[in-house]
Structure 1
Amino acid sequence: MKLTRYITISIFSGAMLLTGAACNKKLDVLPGQSITPDQIKTADDVKAVLFGAYNSMQHYNAFGERYILMPDLLGSAGQVNFVGTFVDYRDVYNKAMVASSGIASGVWGRAYIIISGANTVISKASLLGDDERDAIVAEAKFIRGVAYYELVNIFGQPYSDGNADQNDAVPLVLDPVEVYDASKDIKPRAKVAEVYTQILADLTEAAEKMPASNPNGRANKYSALAFLSRVYLAQHKYTEAATAANDVIANGGFALTSSFDKAFNNTANSSEDIFAIQQNNQSNAGTSNNGLSTMYAGYDLSPSGRGDVRVDPAIYGLYDDNNDVRKSFVYENSSIAGGTGDYTSKWSQFYKVIPVVRLAEMYLTRAEANARSGAAQVGDATPLEDVNTVRARAGAAPLASVTADQVVQERFRELAFEGDWLWTKKRLKMNVGTKPYNDNFLIFPVPQRERDVNKQLTQNPGYGD
């Protein structure tokens, strides 16, 4: 694997310019310059690396676009249509990627930049004061755990496949690469189960040691608990998933926004954002050829998006109540490539916060996990009450009863276009169109660029040797 041999620090303004980095003259570098780990000598240096990792999470190869958009394109079967001209995006949409895909390479490379930053923070913990060391290290482990969770989903078969101990995922890199040593730094792909074990270890420590709140859009203990609920749900550990989600609901201090539209296109976190990516006109994932709003927003808007990703009209059939505002949270517009169609209003504006985990998801996770666990109910609400809480905010009529599978349908309605569609289908072994959930082409190829420099990396089946 082509490992990043240095930590790249971006100096940026706006919401992601967090306390500590701005006054660190060592980090006032020109674009393209880098800072090596041996130059990190103070607590402010360590925190600047942490904030750099957050900035990398904003990148279009991470939550700024592809962690959210790619699962929806890859899982496209009744939710979105790709109408743009970019070949790499169309290959994802058609489930016809190649090993040389720039998207696969970009996602892989950016994730390891994020992980490298987190590893450096952890390794430099001794430079931090006693009053902040545990919390900062835990924050870095949250970032690392989240990056590995995205990687294992994108490049490995789902945990539900039943072969987590045999299926290859991605290399586990847990130490900073200060002086490159091929015998130590070139690693094979770890198994899916091994990566999940590391994710759980990182997120569990993060939940235990991060504060209940953090400034400026940073993660906190409830961010870690929310991601833990996702991991446990993917593993079918339903009591654990319900417990983590319940902790967020009961103790996190979050509240559903007063109306569905208020959960999106905000300049700061909404009341229900448990973790979100901060953006503004100085610091964002892109506005021309990359970025979530660039791809989703219609071309005739001002400012203009590309309009490359449209709503598939088939999704309207999921909604069981015409008064459900989620069904009408769309607008007609055009694509830069031509033609008109419907677009989701979730990503219609530039320079807005990108919600990664919302409180509505926690209600639906607790509902489904409680409905499937067969154990004592976790929390003070039944699955029916949790589902109806989400439906009430959307203006949909309450249900009289609910099954676990009906909770999943509610999840599809609520979290449409937020990157959840494919992962939910995979964990429940649902077909994606005509393809089974574990089809070889529902995961990304290992980038050929990485395999060229690391002969230990196996390729995913279907993409060549």
Structure 2
Amino acid sequence: MKSYKKYIAPFLLAVSVAGLPACNKKLDVAPGSYIVPDQVKDESDVAAELFGAYANLLHYDAYGERAIVIPDLMAAEGELSFEGTFLTYREYQDKSQLKTSSIAESIWQRGYKTINNVNIVIGNIKLVSDDNKKTIEGEARFIRGLMYFHLCNLYGKPYSAGAVTTNPAVPLILDPIIAQADLEKGNQPRATVDAVHKQVLIDLKFAAENLPEESENGRANKYAAYAILSRVYLAEGLYKEAAEAANTVIESGAFVLAASFDKVFNNASNTLEDIFAIQQTNQSNAGTVDNGIQTFYGARSTGGRGDINVTLSSLPYEAGDDRKSFSYEGEGIAGNEGDYTGKWKLQYKVYTVVRLAEMLLTRAEANLRAGTTVGNVPPLDDVNAVRRRSHASILTAVTPDIVVAERIRELAFEGDKLWTYKRLKKNVGPLTYQDDKLVLPIPQRETDVNKKLTQNPGY
């Protein structure tokens, strides 16, 4: 893998400290930009596109903010409240977003820019040396699988709603768009939920089989792929498979729970609990202006806007649980005062995408629902491992519902609740799990350009 490691430094320059000179000027390609075919000439050019895709994951239209904040707002039932001045965000909490929503449009565009980056990588994988080919393609397929699962969740009905072979999700574009003549490739109809899920599984399985066990912070390895696979299997109700994917991560021994709950967050680099996380810096995070997870969830005293107040007592936590007090008082830009979650308190820190605590809870729930013993660890032990870390009381019995309640408490404000409710067919307040307003509109800009696209009901 020696030849592959030579691209680590340019990656950090291109993504973490953009603007400094890189070893290869083609690494300065703007994330998501289209390049003409004769610019992709060698392995370094392919790597540049891969790093552009990683840079896109940092963006506030992806895991730098909206992949977390928008599902949180849509699933809110009193545990958070948007008190800021941006009406476009308040609409998502109120479930009153319009088909002209700029947020829905930006998430879509960033998703497909990212997908195009990795399609260019995969389409030019022949230029990569044999030593690096599987790893680079594995990373590209991990990102593509992650993004298509993300877009399918947002713009399509949940898998649990059934009719997966007819319910539309998002267009499946697997070929690179690198020139004007290729634009028609992007004018595809919406693929079904089933078709998108099948492609996601193909990509993530390839990544799991071909990626190394270790990687640099911010880059995918095989366990990141297995972790996202566990989410896909949960969404499909394939509990044995979900337990097995989560168990692969747990039993690897590569990850351990942080010593205390507060040490999971606001770190300068990955903790041993982080399976996949993005690395924010003052270059990659738009939080210094009006966007970013910390911008919305952080009070003004910490450099944020303080738009989202939280009420931890509504979750609820028991007395003595460290998670119950993991908040601080502050003020928002709109003059609102209240509590803020401690998870996203500080600027320019690691934003975890998936961590070990989730895998323990996934294995516990999946084993209970499937009646399996994957990992040969009782579900009660998995749940208590998570609770013990936060000084919550030790349980003597556990059911699937108890595991789900623990999941909601542990992963609060990490973008998980909406997807958990949808897969379990739970109402979000007065709305059913498949209500039209729990699905984003297909952007008006896209339907205007691509007449093959159909709009979601309710818009």
TM-score using structure 1 length: 0.93
- Which residue number corresponds to residue 217 of structure 1? 218
- Cα 1:15/1:460, change in 2 over 3 Å: closer
Contact 1:363 1:387 in 2 (8 A): yes
- Which residue number corresponds to residue 277 of structure 1? 278
Structure 1 residue 31, shift from structure 2 partner: 9.8
- Which residue number corresponds to residue 7 of structure 1? none
Contact 2:78 2:314 in 1 (8 A): no
Contact 1:15 1:217 in 2 (8 A): no
- Which residue number corresponds to residue 3 of structure 1? none
**1:419-458 map, 5 Å:** 419-458=415-454
- Which residue number corresponds to residue 121 of structure 2? 121
**1:31-430 map, 5 Å:** 35-179=35-179, 180-181=181-182, 183-299=184-300, 301-302=301-302, 304-311=303-310, 313=311, 315-374=312-371, 376-430=372-426
Q: Letter of the 1:173 partner, please give it.
A: I
Measure, in 1, the Cα distance between the counterparts of 2:218 and 2:11. 17
Measure, in 2, the Cα distance between the counterparts of 1:430 and 1:31. 38
How many correspondences in the alignment?
A: 447
- Cα 1:14/1:351, change in 2 over 3 Å: farther
Contact 2:16 2:281 in 1 (8 A): no
RMSD: 1.9
Structure 1 residue 321, shift from structure 2 partner: 2.1
Deviation track 1:4-52 (CA, whole Å, cap 9, x = no partner) reads xxxxxx997487469xx93112344689986334311110111111011
Q: 2:131 aligns to what SS in structure 1?
A: coil
- Cα 1:379/1:12, change in 2 over 3 Å: closer
Contact 1:15 1:279 in 2 (8 A): no
Deviation track 1:195-235 (CA, whole Å, cap 9, x = no partner) reads 00000000000000000011232110000000000000010
Q: Letter of the 1:128 partner, please give it.
A: V
- Cα 1:30/1:194, change in 2 over 3 Å: closer
Q: 2:330 aligns to what SS in structure 1?
A: strand
Deviation track 1:141-162 (CA, whole Å, cap 9, x = no partner) reads 0000000010000000100001
Contact 1:213 1:220 in 2 (8 A): yes
Contact 1:278 1:354 in 2 (8 A): yes
Contact 1:267 1:280 in 2 (8 A): no
Q: 1:433 aligns to what SS in structure 2?
A: coil
Contact 1:257 1:263 in 2 (8 A): yes
Deviation track 1:272-328 (CA, whole Å, cap 9, x = no partner) reads 0000011122322432200000111012x14x21111111x3x41433521000111
Q: Letter of the 1:306 partner, please give it.
A: R
Measure, in 1, the Cα distance between the counterparts of 2:292 and 2:165. 35
Structure 1 residue 186, shift from structure 2 partner: 1.1
Q: Letter of the 2:305 partner, please give it.
A: R
Q: Letter of the 1:323 partner, please give it.
A: G
Q: Letter of the 2:387 partner, please give it.
A: R
Measure, in 2, the Cα distance between the counterparts of 1:152 and 1:93. 20
Structure 1 residue 91, shift from structure 2 partner: 1.1
Q: 1:379 aligns to what SS in structure 2?
A: helix
- Which residue number corresponds to residue 6 of structure 1? none
Q: 1:81 aligns to what SS in structure 2?
A: strand
Measure, in 1, the Cα distance between the counterparts of 2:90 and 2:447. 23
- Cα 1:176/1:34, change in 2 over 3 Å: closer
Greater fraction helix: 2
Deviation track 1:216-257 (CA, whole Å, cap 9, x = no partner) reads 321100000000000000101000000000000001510000
Contact 1:367 1:384 in 2 (8 A): yes
Q: Letter of the 2:122 partner, please give it.
A: I
- Cα 1:30/1:45, change in 2 over 3 Å: closer
Unaligned runs of 5+ in 1: 1-9
- Cα 1:199/1:32, change in 2 over 3 Å: closer
Structure 1 residue 413, shift from structure 2 partner: 0.6
Deviation track 1:115-152 (CA, whole Å, cap 9, x = no partner) reads 00010000010110011101110110000000001000
Contact 1:155 1:443 in 2 (8 A): yes
Measure, in 2, the Cα distance between the counterparts of 1:364 and 1:426. 17
Q: 2:254 aligns to what SS in structure 1?
A: coil
TM-score using structure 2 length: 0.94
Deviation track 1:347-376 (CA, whole Å, cap 9, x = no partner) reads 0110000000010000000000001002x3
Contact 2:33 2:113 in 1 (8 A): no
Q: 1:53 aligns to what SS in structure 2?
A: helix
Contact 1:285 1:292 in 2 (8 A): no
- Identity %, equivalent residues: 55
